[in-house]
Structure 1
Amino acid sequence: MTQKPKQEAEPEVEATGFELFRDKLRLLYHGSSPAAVRFQFSVLIVDVAILAFFIASPLLWDSPTYLYVDYSIAALMFADLAARMLASTDITRWLRQPANWVDIFILATLLVPVLGNFGFLRVLRLWTISQSQVIWKPLRKHGLMRYEDAGKAVINLVTFLFVVAGFIFTFFYAPGSGIDGYLDALYFTVTTITTTGFGDITLPGPLGRITSIIVMIIGISLFVRLAQQVFRPFKISFPCPQCGLQRHEPDAVHCKACGHILKIPDEGN
């Protein structure tokens, strides 16, 4: 019998320094290690700095340090965007994500200030963080899962408040208009959402009325959502293997829909 020739083992391809660098970025941006969590919170500080610069920009327009601060923040944001793109396993898919195009647009306004300052859109990163496990995993680890839904509802409401206040400040700010600063825009947003409507600040023109209507409708919906999460009985997310019902009482033994026996782990396990 003729012996089959032995197949030679394929040589292992060593990862290049650039690939190792991308792997390290991927672990920092998407990992859950202590170092990754510290890095992710440091990136959050950059987001807060951009928002603070947006709020203070009317006071800095005539300052000689305005452009210096503007371009410094633009450099930080460019570095963050480039690092996120390199950390992605599929750059083409990364470029198709709307949130990244928002960041690119904000970067353009920082590099060319005459386009306007839309740094308030960076607040949308709060919503992105609320969908990740960076914040909620420690709660689950310590048996505090009951606060996750309420926490997400609070973040959604806060994000909406600051985005709307930033929008109003950007498009309705003018001396003598009643919107003389970011605090006025935030005050108007809160009074509109709560339907208090003191009337001391109103948005002019048809665009102002349409904006007020949209803010009231969405704001009330978010308030109702938050109230539901705070006051409704706590239920745990655990899909029933038989009927697929997602939410059950933490101590449930049988599924209310089909009676199938559940094996819900205790909190903290």
Structure 2
Amino acid sequence: MTTSGDPVHHSPKATDGLRLRARLRYLYHGTQPNAVKFRLMVIVVDLAIIGFFIAAPILKQAGWAFYLVDAFIALILGLDLAARAYAYSDIRDWLRKPIVWVDLMVLATLLFPAWLANFGFLRLLRFWSLLNSDLFWRTIGRKFDDTRVEEVTRAAAALVTFIFVTTGFVYAYFRGKAEGINGYLDALYFTVATLSTTGFGDITLPGNWGRVISIVIMLVGITLFIRLAQTLIRPGKVRFPCPRCGLQKHDPDAVHCKACGLLLNIPDEGS
């Protein structure tokens, strides 16, 4: 039993664990050059993995070599997720994040390829989770003061992710069943033609479910495209939390908060 004034002694294992957690927090959340370089390396590796996911339908022809790379990527993603979880202060709060569940779903398709083979197209969600992660914006996005680049990037990521996830779905479930869909490029061609409502009609999905899927692709795709166009056209905003109501974004020349009317003092870009 110790009193409040007695020093707290940790076992060697506990001390090593605290040092490891402190080191991981430094790497994943720190602002020092070494931490930023580490996160840049993580982002580059992530982009390479995403490229592998995109090319996976073609690379599967390599046989056992493909599954060997698949297992290696599963190891990398598993270690990365474990490190992020350990570096986070509250694991329960970390598990509440939708991005975390997306990454866990991607990891599951890698760990259990035999059972989740038809869900391999969900791996492309990794692109969306990367460009919406705090790690990405603490590393890349910290160079941008306003939110315009962030909004455009997030909107473009959502559209690109939807295109490739839908392409993977069409390829996985309609290859050889729909006339004209014999390869990945055919599925990509159908997705883009349907999303843009061009509708050449040379490739169509069979049955009522095929029509329903085509309608969903058109509706969701147009919505994401309009969202991207709006972020490109509408005036940019700056991130300046209102002290009274907490509204995060305002027009660069705003004098009053448009939500509560409080007088603001937004710094000029040159100041």
> TM-score w.r.t. structure 2 length?
0.79
* 214-223 vs 245-254, which moves further: 245-254
Q: After the TM superposition, which residues 18-33 of structure 1 pair with which residues of structure 2 at under 5 Å, given as runs? A: 18-33=17-32
Tell me, in whole angstroms, the C-alpha distance in 1 between the residues paired with 2:103 and 2:58: 21
Deviates more, 1:106-115 or 1:15-24: 106-115
More displaced, 67-76 or 37-46? 37-46
Q: Which moved more, 1:88-97 or 1:13-22?
A: 88-97
Distance in 2, Cα, partners of 1:258 & 1:8? 47
Task: Judge conservation of contact 1:145–1:267 (CA < 8 Å) in 2.
Answer: no
* Cα deviation, residue 16, structure 1: 0.7
Deviations 1:118-151 (Å, cap 9, x if unpaired)?
44433333333434233322111xxx54433223
Identify if the C-alpha distance between structure 1 residues 223 and 17 changes in structure 2 by more than 3 Å, giving closer, same or farther. same
Aligned-residue offset at 1:258: 6.5
Q: Deviations over 1:188-216 (max 9, x none)?
A: 22222211111222222333222211111
Superposed CA offset, 1:76-130 (max 9, x none): 2222232223223233444454544443443343344322064443333333343
Give, in angstroms, the shift of residue 53 of structure 1.
Answer: 3.4
**Bigger radius of gyration among the two:** 1
- Specify the SS of the correspondent of 1:165: helix
Residues 1:138 and 2:137 are matched in the alignment: no
Q: Greater CA deviation, 96-105 or 159-168? A: 96-105
In structure 2, the residue corresponding to 1:263 is in which secondary structure? coil
CA pair 70-244 structure 1, distance change in 2 beyond 3 A = closer
Q: Which runs of 5+ in 1 are unaligned?
A: 1-6
Contact 2:238/2:251 (CA < 8 Å) preserved in 1?
yes
| RMSD, aligned CA | 3.1
Does 2:29 align with 1:9?
no
Cα gap change, 1:30 to 1:148, in 2 (>3 Å): same
In the TM superposition, residue 184 of structure 1 has moved relative to its aligned partner by: 2.4
Give the aligned partner of residue 123 of structure 1.
124
Q: 1:39 to 1:162 in 2, by over 3 A?
A: farther
Q: Pick from 147, 150, 158 the counterpart of residue 149 of structure 2.
A: 147
Q: For structure 2, list consecutive stretches of 5 or more residues without a partner in the other structure.
A: none
Partners in 2 of 1:94 and 1:246 — Cα distance?
22
Asked if 1:73 corresponds to 2:73, the answer is yes
Q: 1:38 to 1:190 in 2, by over 3 A?
A: farther
Distance 1:23 1:128 in 2: 25
Task: Calculate the TM-score normalised by the size of structure 1.
Answer: 0.79
Give, as a single letter, the amino acid of the residue that structure 1 aligns with 2:33: P
1:246, distance to aligned residue in structure 2 (A) = 5.2
**What is the percentage of aligned positions where both structures have the same residue?**
52
